[in-house]
């Protein structure tokens, strides 16, 4: 085994000799430089392997004495991990900078080696003063490295950095010397033993000063302006080392002095860290400069790691125990890899403005890398931070640290705002220029991508409850395979995915019971059917199939999830997959963003709820225990329900839906509308079947939710009638329809749930049908504005029939299946007696007629436009699923008992009372009756009779041209003149006045504006003046002192 001291010996030796070797040529010195970096990696790696294999922690003594009388280094598991990470970073960043090293003097290489070596020292040394020395070595090397760039921005940033760092080192020295004075030692571990903190205020002060030195180096808010400047100005390769490597070293220093900290100081660090996390992510909202934005994110992430770490120690988790490793370690390594990768990418692109990063689109690999880093930073599966965050919430909830959870999730959400906004900008931008990526610059990014994925998978195997995550292995493998196979033409991939998903469905579905089977049909059978339109697409459709499969993986995962970890992972996979599907739409970017943010916000509410659940049920993840919890039931219920309501797009949380569903691609709209929305319902079913009738005081939560459901129906449908865009109209209609679903569930009766499920099934069928039909029309006429269409019945008759069947089912007019829902609604209203909600709900339902008519009239009836005289019927792959759905609707209409009876049978398990009494296909309740087949047949017979009568009495009917109408004895010159379509229900808007105003949008816009303007206000702190930054540092220390020591 190579002694770790060789890391230093090699680095120092090479540092001294490189100048000499350089005389033999740059190639020689470069070879040695990389050899040394590689050797450093090798040494750490070898130690890591050995330590994982069970070797003991190695202590390296110097000068022949044992500590505390000598400086010693330590190589334990943590050190091995950190040094390996840092040395890898060094090697890769070194590679990344090869052009620079070739171009500048040999000094650059020396300084770079010193930087890496200094960080290694920071990690390994156990001596306080030695820690100072390595800190200074790192800093000085960094300053000098920064100084190589002769750019004015870089230089002034470097100078500010030096001032801040100078203060930190002064503090460090004072702290150290007094600790030495009080303990008589410099060896950190012995010092902690020797010091008796409680007894002496002076000791505490010394520790405080020392701590402040390290905290300043960790860039706390607001004493971190200098760091932002450095991140913005310094060369990407170097700044990757500063942001990831130096921070790693300083975090490790914090880790080492932790034994010296008492509870107050631990809490102080936790407070500083989490405040920094929230504040810097808030300020990041306003940032446009890419590297400065990454700086804000870095500062935030470091604050998070430090804060969470201190919090965990405060809560009594062993400092080198599994939880600290999993949570703080996971968060750290996640940030480390992702941020290094992002800074490298920043250098490759060399674009200051985040909005100019579109060139990435020409490089799918790097786009993928960028996406992976962003997702990792936000904490989505399968990345390490996801599992770290999950475990963190569980742990903190167990210890009742809900405020901490709330702040951290808030910060994460803020970070998600700007990161996903950035991602969206890239995906929507028009690419003009191409970028060239050299091997040396590309390789580090690719390694980082693989590393962050690999670490994520590793985290998934060590998080408590990891065993249960095996359900995702195969699908994730398929997703990975699809990413690799993305070069294949679309029909090959489509066939492949249909076959595999069909097979999976075939395997899975028979094993599901009760409502899970029902949702299985919607999610998976529906999913397979909705993949058929994919054949209409040409080319490769890059990036569609992996994410489609990811969404379906999440959906399937929900069905089979048995514990909360599986459930939440599935939920996030579904969200992630669907986000990338939605964002494919041409104008979908801002809407995909708001979809993602609402989803994340909802997911975080859910996560908090699951954490609370974890804490009250004896730290068990088992989802089945949800029904047996006795404490905090209502709060858990509310948190989980909020999570699901964001997916269900209930009024107030719905504003993402119209855009996201309306702007998505032809086959994505039905997927996310007909299928994905039901995931929210599935969640509600899971929670509501477990927790019955929770109360807050005297108020039943379900009663409140029933009002929300009713208002959602009204609001959603009302907004739908004002839309000019056909797909948005359908999207708003979904909002309304899911209001029924929510309302039905909140009734908590047999009929109520049956109503809800009936609506859900119907919505699944007719919304898939409508979105496909309208999607097909839009496919051909290239516009979504209804008033630009008209008379298309002549050109697209099958689509017309689809829409006709769809709107009849939607509006609930008998004889089609939609009526089942209406009929059940009346029954449950009478049964439950919630008639006031019922009035709102039913009126909302009647408003649906308005948009149904508008949809079919403005598009298919009226006057055909000149530019549409030659449009063809929608492509066959889009028509086939429509036919399937039409048959399904007709079947449901004719034999409602075949569908509703089995549903009723399993509902009896939850609600034994009040089931429907079926007699020969006729449904009887305590109040009324309905014969689906009978109505269909009577209607059919009467219709045929009347039709026959008309044919009989009619003479020869003459078909006339389009403009042959009674028009003041004139012929209209243009179809536009007589096609009434635009602002069709203006009178309704006028009549309803205030009711028609979009309050929800205003509220969220206002909230967003508030956050942004606050961010803009706060970030004005960073004036750019080095002296101001110094004042920040001093004031920061004084304030912290007042908080931590004063009280």
Partner 1 sequence: MTLITILGLVLIMIGLWGMLTQKNIIKIIIGFSIMDTGVHLIMVSIGYLKDRTAPIIDSAVDQANAVNTVVDPIPSALVLTAIVIGLAVTALMLSYAIKLYEKKGTLDINEFKELKW
Partner 2 sequence: MGFEPIKILYAVISLFIIFNVGMLLNGITRKIGARVGRRHGIRFYQPYIDLVKNYALRSNISHGIMFYLGPVFRLTGGIGVYLFIPVIYGSQYFSNFSFAGDMVLVLYFIFFGTLGMALGAGESGHPYSALGIGRGLAQVTAAEIPLVIAFLGIAVQYQSLSITEIVGMQQGGIMNWTMVTNPLITVVAIIAFLGSMMRSPFDVVLAPQEIPIGPPTEFHSTFLGVLQTNRAIFPMAKTVLFVNLFFGGATNWGILILKAFILYMVSVVVGTVFPRFRVDQSIRWFYKYALILGVIALIATTFMFK
Q: How far is the CB of 166 from partner 1 (least distance, A)?
A: 5
Q: Would you say 354 or 827 has its CB closer to partner 2? A: 827
The rounded distance, in Å, linking the Cα atoms of 128 and 194 is 14
Specify the stretch interacting with partner 1 by CB under 8 A; choose among 176-184, 252-260, 683-691, 797-805: 176-184
Q: Would you say 97 or 847 has its CB closer to partner 2? A: 847
Q: For residue 376, what are the CA distances in angstroms to 106, 251, 330, 373?
A: 36, 20, 11, 5
Q: What is the DSSP letter of 492?
A: H
Among 229, 235, 665, 788, binds partner 1 (CB under 8 A): 229
What x/- string results for residues 793 through 812 when contact with partner 2 is judged by CB under 8 A? Answer: xx---------x--xx--xx
The rounded distance, in Å, linking the Cα atoms of 420 and 416 is 6
Q: Please report whether residue 869 would count as binding partner 1 according to CB under 8 A.
A: no
The rounded distance, in Å, linking the Cα atoms of 847 and 719 is 10
Q: How far is the CB of 192 from partner 1 (least distance, A)?
A: 18
**Is residue 298 a contact partner of residue 287, using CB atoms and an 8 Å limit?**
no
Among 6, 143, 918, 963, binds partner 1 (CB under 8 A): 143
Q: Please report whether residue 1034 would count as binding partner 1 according to CB under 8 A.
A: yes
Q: Which of 310, 304, 312 is nearest to 335 (CA)?
A: 304
Question: At which residue do the structure tokens 């002694």 appear?
Answer: 3
**Is residue 113 a contact partner of residue 36, using CB atoms and an 8 Å limit?**
yes
Among 22, 78, 232, 235, binds partner 1 (CB under 8 A): 232
Q: Would you say 794 or 869 has its CB closer to partner 2? A: 794
The rounded distance, in Å, linking the Cα atoms of 251 and 253 is 5
Q: Would you say 276 or 882 has its CB closer to partner 1? A: 276
Specify the stretch interacting with partner 1 by CB under 8 A; choose among 178-186, 415-423, 578-586, 798-806: 178-186
Specify the stretch interacting with partner 2 by CB under 8 A; choose among 357-365, 368-376, 509-517, 943-951: 943-951
Q: Which of 541, 385, 526, 362 is nearest to 435 (CA)?
A: 362
Q: Which of 830, 683, 808 is nearest to 755 (CA)?
A: 830
How far from chain centre, in Å, is Cα 710? 29
Q: Would you say 480 or 942 has its CB closer to partner 2? A: 942
Question: At which residue do the structure tokens 């803009």 appear?
Answer: 1016
Q: Please report whether residue 1022 would count as binding partner 1 according to CB under 8 A.
A: yes
Q: Choosing among partner 2, partner 1, none, which partner's interface includes residue 436 (Cβ < 5 to 8 Å by kind)? A: none
Size of the site for partner 1 (CB under 8 A): 49
What x/- string results for residues 182 through 221 when contact with partner 1 is judged by CB under 8 A? Answer: ----x-----------------------------------
Question: At which residue do the structure tokens 């960073």 appear?
Answer: 1022
Q: Would you say 155 or 315 has its CB closer to partner 1? A: 155
Q: Please report whether residue 1023 would count as binding partner 1 according to CB under 8 A.
A: yes
Q: Please report whether residue 145 would count as binding partner 2 according to CB under 8 A.
A: no
Q: What is the DSSP letter of 383?
A: S
Q: How far is the CB of 108 from partner 1 (least distance, A)?
A: 15
Give every CB contact of residue 443 below 8 A, 6+ residues apart in sequence.
92, 95
Q: Choosing among partner 2, partner 1, none, which partner's interface includes residue 173 (Cβ < 5 to 8 Å by kind)? A: partner 1
Q: How far is the CB of 927 from partner 2 (least distance, A)?
A: 4
Q: Which of 125, 121, 154 is nearest to 138 (CA)?
A: 121
Among 28, 45, 98, 174, binds partner 1 (CB under 8 A): 174
Q: How far is the CB of 193 from partner 1 (least distance, A)?
A: 18
What x/- string results for residues 966 through 1005 when contact with partner 2 is judged by CB under 8 A? Answer: xx-------x-xxxxx--xx-xx-xxxx-x----------
Q: How far is the CB of 332 from partner 1 (least distance, A)?
A: 27
Q: Would you say 484 or 986 has its CB closer to partner 2? A: 986
Among 34, 826, 906, 1041, binds partner 2 (CB under 8 A): 826
Q: Which of residues 855-874 bind partner 2 (CB under 8 A)?
A: 856-857, 861-863
Helix/strand/coil (H/E/C) assignment for every residue in 546-574? HHHHHHHHHHHHHHHCCEHHHHHHHHHHH
Q: Angle 704-706-708 (CA atoms, 0-180°, nearest 5)?
A: 75
Q: Where are the alpha helices (DSSP H) in 234-329?
A: 236-240, 247-257, 263-284, 290-314, 322-324
Specify the stretch interacting with partner 1 by CB under 8 A; choose among 229-237, 251-259, 389-397, 421-429: 229-237
Q: Please report whether residue 895 would count as binding partner 2 according to CB under 8 A.
A: no
Q: How far is the CB of 834 from partner 2 (least distance, A)?
A: 10
The two most distant CA atoms of the chain are separated, in Å, by 118
**Is residue 376 a contact partner of residue 412, using CB atoms and an 8 Å limit?**
no
Q: How far is the CB of 839 from partner 2 (least distance, A)?
A: 6
The rounded distance, in Å, linking the Cα atoms of 585 and 668 is 9
**Is residue 260 a contact partner of residue 316, using CB atoms and an 8 Å limit?**
no
Among 209, 522, 528, 842, binds partner 2 (CB under 8 A): 842
Q: Is 275 helix (H, G, I), strand (E, B) or coil?
A: helix
Among 42, 140, 440, 635, binds partner 1 (CB under 8 A): 140
Among 20, 950, 1007, 1042, binds partner 2 (CB under 8 A): 950
Q: Would you say 532 or 774 has its CB closer to partner 2? A: 774
The rounded distance, in Å, linking the Cα atoms of 626 and 77 is 39
The answer to whether the bond into 928 is cis (omega within 30° of 0) is: no
Specify the stretch interacting with partner 2 by CB under 8 A; choose among 257-265, 331-339, 775-783, 948-956: 948-956
Q: Please report whether residue 931 would count as binding partner 2 according to CB under 8 A.
A: yes
The rounded distance, in Å, linking the Cα atoms of 473 and 453 is 13
The rounded distance, in Å, linking the Cα atoms of 278 and 288 is 18
Q: How far is the CB of 412 from partner 2 (least distance, A)?
A: 44
Per the DSSP assignment, residues forming a β-bridge with 622 are: 563
Size of the site for partner 2 (CB under 8 A): 81
Q: How far is the CB of 940 from partner 2 (least distance, A)?
A: 9
Long-range contacts of residues 635-640, Cβ cutoff 8 Å, at least 24 apart: 635/609, 636/609, 636/612, 636/691, 637/609, 637/687, 637/691, 637/694, 637/701, 638/609, 638/694, 638/701, 639/605, 639/606, 639/608, 639/609, 639/612, 640/605, 640/606, 640/609, 640/610, 640/613, 640/683, 640/687
Specify the stretch interacting with partner 2 by CB under 8 A; choose among 203-211, 252-260, 514-522, 818-826: 818-826
Among 200, 320, 495, 1027, binds partner 1 (CB under 8 A): 1027
Q: Please report whether residue 743 would count as binding partner 1 according to CB under 8 A.
A: no
Q: Please report whether residue 298 would count as binding partner 2 according to CB under 8 A.
A: no
Q: Please report whether residue 492 would count as binding partner 1 according to CB under 8 A.
A: no
Specify the stretch interacting with partner 2 by CB under 8 A; choose among 148-156, 377-385, 591-599, 835-843: 835-843
Among 163, 365, 509, 804, binds partner 1 (CB under 8 A): 163
The rounded distance, in Å, linking the Cα atoms of 1012 and 933 is 58
Q: Which of residues 495-524 bind partner 1 (CB under 8 A)?
A: none
Q: Choosing among partner 1, partner 2, none, which partner's interface includes residue 954 (Cβ < 5 to 8 Å by kind)? A: partner 2
Q: Please report whether residue 713 would count as binding partner 2 according to CB under 8 A.
A: no
Q: For residue 298, what are the CA distances in angstroms to 153, 219, 283, 767?
A: 20, 10, 12, 44
Chain contacts with partner 1 (rule: CB under 8 A): 129, 132-133, 136, 139-140, 143-144, 147, 150, 152-153, 155-159, 162-163, 166, 169-170, 173-174, 176-178, 180-181, 186, 225, 228-229, 232-233, 286-287, 292, 1019-1020, 1022-1027, 1030-1031, 1034
């Amino acid at each position: 085994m190579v002694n770790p001291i060789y890391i230093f010996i090699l680095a120092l030796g090479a540092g001294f000799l490189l100048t000499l070797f350089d005389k033999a040529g740059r190639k020689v010195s470069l070879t040695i430089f990389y050899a040394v970096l590689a050797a450093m990696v090798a040494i750490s790696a070898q130690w890591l392997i050995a330590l994982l294999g069970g070797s003991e922690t190695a202590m390296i003594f110097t000068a022949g004495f044992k500590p505390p009388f000598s400086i010693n280094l330590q190589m334990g598991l943590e050190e091995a991990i950190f040094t390996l990470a840092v040395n890898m970073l060094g090697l890769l960043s070194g590679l990344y900078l090869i052009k620079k090293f070739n171009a500048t003097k040999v000094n650059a290489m020396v300084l770079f080696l010193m930087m890496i070596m200094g960080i290694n020292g920071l990690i390994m040394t156990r001596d306080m003063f030695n820690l100072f020395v390595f800190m200074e070595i790192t800093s000085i090397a960094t300053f000098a490295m920064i100084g190589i760039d002769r750019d004015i921005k870089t230089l002034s940033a470097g100078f500010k950095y030096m001032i801040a760092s100078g203060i930190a080192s002064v503090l460090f020295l004072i702290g150290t010397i007094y600790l030495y004075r009080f303990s008589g030692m410099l060896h950190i571990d012995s010092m902690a033993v020797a010091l008796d903190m409680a007894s002496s205020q002076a000791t505490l002060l010394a520790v405080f000063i020392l701590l402040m030195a390290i905290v300043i180096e960790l860039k706390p808010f607001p004493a971190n302006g200098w760091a932002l400047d450095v991140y913005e100005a310094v060369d990407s390769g170097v700044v990757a080392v500063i942001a990831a490597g130096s921070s790693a070293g300083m975090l490790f220093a914090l880790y080492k002095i932790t034994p010296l900290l008492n509870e107050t100081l631990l809490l102080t660090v936790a407070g500083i860290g989490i405040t920094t996390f929230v504040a810097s992510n808030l300020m990041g909202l306003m940032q446009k400069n890419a590297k400065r934005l990454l700086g804000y994110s870095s500062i935030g992430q470091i604050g998070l790691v430090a804060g969470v770490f201190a919090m965990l120690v405060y809560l009594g988790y062993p400092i080198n125990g599994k939880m600290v490793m999993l949570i703080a370690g996971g968060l750290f390594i996640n940030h480390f890899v992702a941020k290094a990768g992002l800074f490298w990418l920043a250098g490759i692109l060399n674009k200051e403005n985040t909005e100019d990063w579109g060139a990435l689109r020409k490089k799918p690999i790097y786009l993928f890398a960028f996406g992976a880093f962003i997702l990792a930073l936000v904490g989505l599966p399968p990345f390490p931070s996801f599992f770290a965050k999950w475990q963190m919430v569980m742990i903190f909830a167990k210890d009742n640290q809900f405020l901490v959870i709330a702040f951290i999730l808030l910060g994460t959400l803020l970070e998600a705002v700007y990161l996903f906004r950035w991602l969206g900008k890239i995906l929507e931008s028009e690419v003009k220029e191409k970028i060239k990526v050299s091997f040396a610059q590309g390789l580090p990014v690719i390694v980082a991508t693989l590393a962050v994925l690999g670490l994520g998978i590793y985290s998934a195997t060590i998080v408590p409850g990891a065993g249960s995550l095996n359900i995702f292995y195969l699908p994730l493998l398929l997703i990975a395979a699809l990413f690799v196979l993305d070069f294949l033409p679309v029909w090959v991939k489509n066939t492949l995915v249909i076959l595999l998903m069909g097979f999976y469905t075939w395997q899975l579905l028979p094993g599901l019971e009760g409502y899970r089977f029902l949702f299985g049909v919607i999610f998976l059978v529906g999913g397979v059917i909705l993949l058929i339109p994919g054949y209409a697409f040409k080319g490769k459709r890059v990036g569609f199939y992996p994410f489609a499969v990811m969404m379906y993986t999440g959906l399937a995962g929900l069905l089979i999830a048995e514990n909360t970890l599986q459930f939440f992972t599935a939920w996030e996979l579904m969200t992630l997959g669907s986000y990338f599907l939605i964002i494919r739409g041409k104008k979908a970017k801002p809407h995909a963003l708001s979809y993602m943010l609402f989803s994340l916000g909802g997911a975080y509410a859910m996560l908090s709820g699951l954490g609370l659940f974890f804490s009250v049920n004896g730290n068990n993840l088992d989802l089945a225990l949800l029904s047996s919890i006795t404490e905090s039931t209502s709060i858990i219920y509310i948190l989980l329900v909020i999570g699901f309501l964001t997916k269900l797009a209930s009024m107030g949380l719905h504003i993402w839906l119209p855009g996201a569903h309306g702007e998505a691609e032809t086959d994505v709209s039905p997927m996310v509308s007909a299928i994905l929305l039901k995931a929210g319902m599935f969640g509600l079913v899971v929670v509501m079947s477990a927790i019955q009738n929770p109360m807050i005081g005297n108020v039943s939560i379900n009663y409140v939710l029933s009002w929300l459901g009713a208002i959602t129906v009204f609001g959603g449908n009302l907004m739908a009638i004002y839309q000019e865009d056909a797909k948005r109209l359908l999207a708003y209609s979904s909002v309304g329809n899911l209001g029924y679903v929510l309302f039905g569930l909140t009734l908590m009766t047999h009929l109520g749930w049956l109503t809800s499920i009936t609506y859900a099934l119907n919505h699944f069928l007719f919304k898939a049908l409508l979105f496909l039909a309208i999607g097909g029309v839009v496919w051909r006429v290239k516009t979504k504005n209804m008033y630009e269409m008209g008379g298309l019945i002549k050109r697209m008759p099958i689509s017309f029939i689809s829409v006709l069947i769809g709107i009849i089912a939607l509006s609930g007019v008998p004889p089609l299946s939609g009526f089942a829902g209406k009929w059940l609604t009346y029954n449950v209203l009478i049964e439950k007696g919630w008639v006031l909600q019922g009035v709102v709900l039913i009126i909302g339902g009647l408003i649906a007629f308005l948009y149904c008519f508008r949809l079919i009239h403005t598009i298919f009836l009226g006057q055909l436009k000149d530019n549409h005289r030659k449009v063809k019927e929608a492509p066959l792959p889009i028509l086939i699923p429509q036919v399937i759905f039409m048959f399904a609707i007709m079947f449901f209409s004719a034999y409602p008992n075949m569908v509703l009876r089995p549903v009723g049978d399993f509902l009896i398990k939850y609600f034994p009372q009040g089931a429907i009494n079926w007699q020969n296909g006729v449904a009887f309740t305590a109040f009324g009756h309905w014969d689906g087949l009978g109505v269909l047949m009577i209607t059919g017979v009467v219709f045929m009779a009347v039709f026959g009568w008309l044919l009989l009495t009619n003479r020869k009917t003459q078909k006339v041209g389009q403009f042959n109408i009674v028009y003041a004895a004139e012929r209209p010159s243009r179809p536009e003149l007589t096609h009434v379509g635009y602002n069709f229900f203006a009178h309704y808007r006028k009549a309803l006045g205030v009711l028609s105003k979009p309050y929800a949008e205003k509220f969220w816009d206002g909230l967003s504006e508030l956050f942004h303007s606050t961010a803009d206000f706060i970030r004005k702190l960073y004036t750019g003046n080095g002296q101001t930054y110094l004042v920040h540092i001093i004031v920061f220390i004084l304030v912290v002192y007042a908080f931590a020591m004063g009280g």
